[in-house]
Amino acid sequence: MVQDAQALKAKGDYKGAASKFEEAVTADGRNADAHWGLAWTLSTLGQQEKDDVKLTMAKDQFTAFIRVSKDAGKTAEAKAAIARLGGGS
């Protein structure tokens, strides 16, 4: 599912990608790649559509990523993204 989502995102189909990433998160809530992809996809959609709900959802996914990830570099990037999006969720 994550690979399908990444392919859709690469084609610019952010809504389709978000749907696939959400499926992946639902299937495995500890899948760091799914949380990471969903967070960035929702962040992009939220900024494009000026949608505060999607931006809040993005912050929630970055937070979920931080909980399950063992990647220190991406964790720091996720924390920075949360700060840019307006702080904690």
* Global model pTM greater than 0.85: yes
pLDDT tens, 11-51? 999 999 999 999 999 999 999 999 999 999 999 999 999 99
Q: Rounded to an integer, what is the distance from CA 66 to the centroid of its chain?
A: 11
**DSSP assignment, residue 11?**
T
**Mean pLDDT of all residues belonging to the chain:** 95
Q: Closest Cα partner for 46 from 7, 77, 3, 89?
A: 89
Q: Which CATH class is domain 2-84?
A: mainly alpha
φ and ψ at 87, to 5 degrees?
Answer: 95, -170
The proportion of the chain whose per-residue pLDDT surpasses 90, expressed as a percent, equals 96
- Percent residues over pLDDT 70 in the chain: 97
Q: Domain map of the chain by residue range?
A: 2-84
